[in-house]
Amino acid sequence: MVCVPQLDEVLDGLHVVSLPMRVRFRGITVREVVLIEGPVGWGEFGAFPEYEPPEAVFWLASAVEAAYRVPPDVRRDRIPINATVPAVVAAQVPEVLARFSGARTAKVKVAEPGQTLADDVARVNAVRALVPRVRVDANGGWSVDEAAEAAAALTADGPIEYIEQPCATVPELAALRRRVDVLIAADESIRKADDPLRVVRSKAADVAVLKVAPLGGVARMLEIAGQIDIPIVVSSALDSAVGIGRGLLAAAALPELPYACGLGTGGLFVDDIAESVEPVDGFLPVAPVVPDPARLAALAAAPERRRWWIDRIRACYPLMS
């Protein structure tokens, strides 16, 4: 994965923070991450709590890479981003979009447990009234038949740029792609797969959504991107400003960037470890992020949570190579 420093060295530069969220997203209202300071910069380890060490270790490798490895050269100094709209009621959409100044594209969460397709259509139409390009993300929540029905309903009043991970498996994505006219994007089928290229070889997607941390860092993401012959969208994994900075770096290093990236999720936090950088005309600048010491102190997680994350790093560390 990356050149691995000694564990004690990593733990010496470690901060655990709890970031309060404006709305529930991915089932949580507080996002905990570990920030690691190294000789090159800051890295972020934020594998979601349910991820076991064999999966979480990729996130840790990404953090270590950021702190200890010189970054790649970049091709652009700003990145177009999409607004991110959680599974809120349609009436809340204007409030959410107000945090994404100038964004011309919005990604809308759909297929939320406990909600209906009618809820999704209402939310998407509310977004469509304010933003010219709309994409949706189902997080694998539909069967093939449900996804086909949803694609028809969600495009009845206007186009959709693509549907991200409408179904959970690669065969389902391939079957759906043969049934609908909407572009299909793969996320979990790449970042959670033993073989991240299978979805492309199976002709199961039109767009590849790549996330730095789950893939093991910027270098590995760029390596995977070099083997993919479909357009790429770089997205965040509900990262703090440090993680977003790594995503922007990765997007800046790609040869081509035809779509807006999902790197505007900082607006989902009430507070972050660095001063918020507002998008300008829908773009974010590419620059390293250095946490504010006062914010690190104010947002520090409770001692028991700090111990939990340190134990988790200790469990993951032997898996790094």
Residue 55 counted as an annotated binding residue: no
Q: How far apart are alpha carbons 38 and 60 in whole angstroms?
A: 13
Residues 6+ apart with CB under 8 A from 139: 109, 111, 164, 165, 187, 188
Residue 32 counted as an annotated binding residue: no
Q: How far apart are alpha carbons 142 and 186 in whole angstroms?
A: 14
To the query of whether residue 211 is one of the catalytic residues in this protein, the response is yes
Its sign, for the CA torsion 216, 221, 223, 224, is positive
Catalytic residue of the set 107, 192, 203, 211:
211
To the query of whether residue 109 is one of the catalytic residues in this protein, the response is yes
Residue 181 counted as an annotated binding residue: no
Catalytic residue of the set 107, 109, 192, 203:
109
Largest CA distance in the chain: 56
Q: How far apart are alpha carbons 49 and 280 in whole angstroms?
A: 34
Neighbours of 230 (CB within 10 A): 14
Contact 47, 246 (CB under 8 A): no
- From the annotation, which residues make up the binding site for Mg(2+)? 137, 164, 187
- From the annotation, which residues make up the binding site? 137, 164, 187
The residues carrying an active-site annotation are 109, 211
